[in-house]
């Protein structure tokens, strides 16, 4: 029996469920590999765990060929959900796996769209639109037994919208409740919890509660107990937490989760509680939470740190806590330091580095005037200037006329001809002549002319404003 077939085989008519002999007849060059369901499942679990480390705390394998990811609230780390999906698609596709990603409000809808909309790129069903999307799909998308699908088709049901509209009684009598359970799961009428998969070696702590809890205060208290337990385990291994996942087991079977990260490994309970508490309001307790699990999904060896023994506050403050709090609120990419970088054009001379990266003794070039406020991208201005190398006498920017009183320049900067993403590739000899001008009233601006003023090949001689000085 054929368990599954690749795109080429399917094109030649080989479908899962066929006997191998028949398949060989259809496709003489067929290459048959023995199915290993156990190894497939192990592979799916590995993929799920990888996705769990990178994208979302709540992941689960969906045999035979799927992986669940609950990306609710996980987009912050990537900037947007679209960016997350793009990254996921790129990374998985790069390993040679053919994949289709779908995002929807319910697992059922995502499952259906991923398998029946061969878009080739991630598909997102906007919130609230899953009903409409499902309606158009064939009933095979409902995760039903093959025999049931066949029987329904014989009765004239082709698409899910027909099933939504049909009276429920007769169908339930004929096929049992499975059809409507799957339909309701896909439409979100009944919940379908994902049983998350966790790396087995991570320190974890679990509390079952006598009474379901609802309030944020109660959740915070349980979280504190869980953190104390987890820290005791971390102390034994000499590690600190870099990432925590807190799962809330709700009475109705759903498991919402929150994930917080820290910029450096820590075992400070107060700090961890604070990070988790800031996110507790995103959790909907529903009818109550009956258990909570804390998983330290990422640990790192904890480096020793000299305490402030004299308590005089003279040693540098430990800003890791503050950086974590801000990064968890605004996203890790909004927090950064800058480092100098060798680049031809000024906008490329500054690199963003993580806020807590080691502060090497970085030397910034200090002999060139640079503006404190940068316009990005540079804005075009109209300029009156004499060629080839006189500073502007006047310029118009944003509809306002500026008369130049004094100027300094030009400072000639050459583009990086080896870059292909910048504009330099189109103009291999790109040159900018920068002028520092002081206008009436004392304001100082940074203008540049594309081109050297003599050769048209060096740039189109247009003027731009790129920033303002002190």
Partner 1 sequence: MRSATIMDQLRSRVAAIEGVRTRHAPLPFGLPAIDRHLPGGGLASGALHEVSGSAELADDAAATVFLAGILARIDGPVFWCLRWRDLFSPALDLAGLHPDRVIHVEAGSDTNVLLATEECLRQPGLAGVVGEVAKLGTTASKRLQLAAESSGVTAFIFRRAADPRQLAEGSAAVTRWRITAHPSEILGLPSLARPRWQIALERARGAEPKSWIVEACDAQGRLALPADLVDRPAAQDAWPIAL
Is residue 377 close enough to count as binding partner 1 by CB under 8 A? no
Beta strand 444-450 with 373-380 is: unpaired
> Which sign does the torsion angle of CA 365, 371, 377, 379 carry?
negative
- Candidates 25-33, 66-74, 291-299, 326-334; binding stretch for partner 1 (CB under 8 A): 326-334
For 206, residues 6+ apart whose C-beta sits below 8 A from its C-beta are 226, 291, 292, 293, 294
**Considering only 118-126, 138-146, 232-240, 331-339, which stretch makes contact with partner 1 by CB under 8 A?**
331-339
Distance between CA atoms of residues 324 and 192, nearest Å: 33
161, 162, 165, 169: CA torsion to nearest 10: -130
Min CB(233)–partner 1 separation in Å: 29
Q: Smallest distance, Å, CB 268 to partner 1?
A: 14
Q: Is 391 or 415 the residue whose CB approaches partner 1 more closely? A: 391
Q: Which of 38, 359, 421, 456 binds partner 1 (CB under 8 A)?
A: 359
The piece of 12-20, 78-86, 211-219, 317-325 that touches partner 1 (CB under 8 A) is: 317-325
Candidates 67, 142, 355, 381: give the one binding partner 1 (CB under 8 A): 355
Q: How far apart are CA 125 and CA 135, in angstroms?
A: 13
SS3 category, 79: coil
User: Is 445 among the residues that bind partner 1 (CB under 8 A)?
Assistant: yes
Answer for the pair 243, 202: CB distance below 8 angstroms, yes or no. Answer: no
Rounded to whole angstroms, the Cα distance separating 9 from 7 reads 6
The stretch near partner 1 (CB under 8 A) out of 109-117, 219-227, 247-255, 321-329 is 321-329
69 versus 335: smaller Cβ distance to partner 1 = 335
| b/e sequence 144-176, b meaning 16+ C-beta within 10 Å | beeebbeebeeeebeebbebeeeeeeebeeebe
Between 152 and 407, whose beta carbon lies closer to partner 1?
A: 407
Residue with smaller CB distance to partner 1, 3 or 352: 352
CA distances from 412 to 322, 416, 449 (A): 42, 13, 10
Contacting partner 1 (CB under 8 A), which of 405, 428, 455, 460? Answer: 405
Residues contacting partner 1: total by CB under 8 A? 56
Tokens coding 377: 């991208």
Quote the DSSP letter at residue 132. Answer: H
C-alpha neighbours within 13 Å on the C-beta side of residue 433: 23
Structure tokens at 463: 């003027």
Binding of partner 1 by 469 (CB under 8 A): yes
349 is a site residue for partner 1 (CB under 8 A) = yes
Site string for partner 1, 231-270 (x = CB under 8 A): ----------------------------------------
Contact residues: partner 1, CB under 8 A: 313, 316-317, 319, 321-323, 325-326, 329-330, 334-340, 346, 349-350, 352, 355, 359-360, 362, 364-366, 368-376, 391, 405-408, 436, 438-445, 467-470
């Amino acid at each position: 029996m054929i368990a599954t077939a690749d795109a080429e085989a399917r094109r030649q008519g080989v479908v899962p469920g066929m006997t191998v002999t028949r398949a060989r007849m259809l496709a003489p060059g067929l290459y048959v590999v023995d199915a290993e369901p156990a190894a497939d499942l192990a592979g799916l679990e590995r993929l799920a765990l990888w996705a769990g480390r990178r994208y979302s705390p709540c992941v689960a394998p969906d045999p035979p060929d799927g992986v669940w990811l609950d990306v609710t609230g996980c987009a912050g780390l990537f900037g947007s959900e679209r960016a997350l999906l793009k990254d996921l698609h790129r990374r998985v596709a790069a390993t040679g796996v053919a994949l289709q990603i779908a995002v929807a409000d319910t697992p059922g809808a995502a499952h259906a769209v991923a398998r029946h909309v061969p878009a080739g790129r991630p598909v997102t069903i906007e919130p609230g639109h899953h009903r409409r999307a499902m309606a158009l799909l064939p009933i095979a998308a409902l995760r039903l037994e093959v025999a049931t699908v066949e029987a329904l088709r014989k009765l004239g049901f082709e698409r899910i919208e027909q099933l939504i509209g049909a009276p429920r009684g007769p169908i339930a009598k004929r096929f049992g409740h499975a059809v409507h359970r799957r339909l309701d799961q896909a439409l979100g009428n009944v919940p379908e919890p994902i049983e998350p998969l966790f790396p087995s070696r991570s320190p974890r702590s679990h509390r079952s509660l006598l009474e379901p809890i609802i309030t944020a205060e109660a959740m915070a208290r349980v979280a504190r107990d869980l953190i104390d337990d987890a820290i005791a385990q971390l102390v034994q291994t000499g590690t600190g937490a870099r990432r925590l996942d807190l799962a809330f087991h709700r009475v109705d079977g759903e498991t919402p989760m929150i994930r917080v990260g820290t910029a450096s490994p820590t075992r400070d309970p107060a700090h961890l509680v604070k990070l988790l508490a800031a996110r507790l309001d995103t959790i909907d307790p529903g009818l109550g939470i009956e258990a909570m699990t804390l998983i330290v999904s990422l640990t790192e060896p904890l480096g020793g740190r000299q305490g402030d023994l004299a308590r005089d506050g003279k040693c540098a403050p430990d800003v890791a806590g503050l950086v974590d709090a801000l990064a968890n609120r605004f996203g890790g990419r909004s927090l950064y330091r800058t480092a100098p970088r060798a680049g031809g054009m000024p906008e490329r001379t500054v690199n963003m580095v993580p806020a807590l990266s080691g502060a090497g003794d970085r030397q910034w070039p200090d002999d060139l005037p640079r503006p404190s406020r940068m316009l990005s991208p540079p804005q075009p201005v109209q300029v009156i200037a004499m060629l080839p190398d006189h500073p502007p006498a006047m310029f118009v920017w944003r509809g306002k006329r500026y008369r130049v009183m004094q100027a300094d320049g030009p400072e000639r900067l050459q583009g990086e001809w080896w870059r292909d993403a910048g504009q330099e590739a189109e103009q291999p000899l790109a040159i900018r002549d920068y002028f520092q001008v002081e206008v009436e009233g004392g304001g100082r601006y940074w203008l540049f002319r594309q081109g050297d003023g003599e050769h048209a090949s060096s740039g189109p001689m247009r003027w731009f404003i790129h920033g303002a000085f002190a």
